[in-house]
Amino acid sequence: MNDLSSPFASRDAQSNIINNPDIPTSEKFSDPLEEQTHRKKRLVVSLKLFSSFGFDEGVAGHITVRDPIDQESFWVNPFGIHFSEVGITDLIRVTHDGKIVEGTNPVNAAAFAIHSRIHMAHPNINAACHAHSVYGKTWSTFGQCLDPITQDSCAFYEHHDVFKQYSGLVLETSEGDEIAKLLSNKKALILQNHGLLTVGSFVESAAWWFITMERSCQAQLMANSVNGKDIIRISNDAARKAFDIIGNEEAGWFGFQPLLQKIIKKYPELK
């Protein structure tokens, strides 16, 4: 029986919920220039959100989005400017082979080495996020995937992996290629001894996956720290059902919307 009041509705029921005209869905664009502006604004919004969550760590961290006009290039935040201070005119557009075609600020070499290979290898991935967030980099030291121990962590059930080849700062595109390979059917990676990386069809979904994955790392670390208590793991069947609803791209886009509203209220020019 398909009970729409249940948190574990079937895929057909989930589709009906997502397509409900009363629930917003991702924007559709007929004008590539309009879509370009939209993506750049959402990139800046995501950077400001990352700052507000404390995901900044000096000059580390980057968010990219594919340019909808020249799809062999992507926009990225400039190297050495705080997430909270980045504006639309500060963004850099760089091609997959490393040529800066718009912008005057420097590009983080690690951002290019990782993100260029992801965008090049996966035409369906339009955005990618990486930062050295506290709980993500702490959990990364275990070299393990997250367990399905909360409903939120089920968004990553069988849909994330661990990249275990830490060899220092990622400055070689060959290492970026290896990272990209793991994303062929995943939306997130735990970079061992490094941090988190999330991707999506939308800037909004990629950013939301990062935010909720960081919180899931925090929840798992806290649960693991309680002595004398066994953690109750969500069953595989229930985890898959939850994933079907909260783990898809539209759900990721939608999860970002309340945070977007908060930033736009403060920066109305980013609407």
**CATH number of the domain residue 90 falls in:** 3.40.225.10
Task: Provide the residue type at 168 as one letter.
Answer: G
Share of the chain above pLDDT 70, in %: 91
Buried b / exposed e over 192-216, threshold 16 CB at 10 Å, is bebbbbbbbbbbbbbbbbbbbbbbb
- 3-state secondary structure (DSSP) of residue 123: coil
Evaluate whether residue 231 is within a structural domain: yes
For residues 139 and 221, the answer to whether their CB atoms sit within 8 Å is yes
Evaluate whether residue 255 is within a structural domain: yes
For residues 49 and 263, the answer to whether their CB atoms sit within 8 Å is yes
- 20 pLDDT above the threshold of 80: no
Evaluate whether residue 230 is within a structural domain: yes
Evaluate whether residue 62 is within a structural domain: yes
CA–CA dist 120, 98 (Å, integer): 12
Structure tokens at 122: 């996966």
Evaluate whether residue 27 is within a structural domain: no
Evaluate whether residue 265 is within a structural domain: yes
Confidence of residue 21 (pLDDT cuts 50, 70, 90): low
- 150 pLDDT above the threshold of 80: yes
Q: What is the pLDDT of residue 228?
A: 76
For residues 153 and 220, the answer to whether their CB atoms sit within 8 Å is yes
- 11 pLDDT above the threshold of 80: no
For residues 64 and 122, the answer to whether their CB atoms sit within 8 Å is no
Confidence of residue 18 (pLDDT cuts 50, 70, 90): low
| CA-derived radius of gyration, the chain | 18
CA–CA dist 198, 187 (Å, integer): 6
What is the domain range of residue 202? 41-270
Evaluate whether residue 149 is within a structural domain: yes
Sheet holding 195-200, edge to edge: 100-102, 92-95, 73-76, 62-66, 127-131, 195-200, 188-191, 160-163
- 22 pLDDT above the threshold of 50: yes
CA–CA dist 178, 61 (Å, integer): 19
Confidence of residue 5 (pLDDT cuts 50, 70, 90): very low
Evaluate whether residue 105 is within a structural domain: yes
CA–CA dist 18, 5 (Å, integer): 14
User: Looking at the 3D structure of the chain, how many domains does it have?
Assistant: 1
Query: What is the per-residue DSSP string for 157-193?
Result: TTSEEEE----SS---HHHHHHHHHHTSS-SEEEETT
Q: What is the pTM of this model?
A: 0.90
CA–CA dist 270, 262 (Å, integer): 11
Share of the chain above pLDDT 90, in %: 83
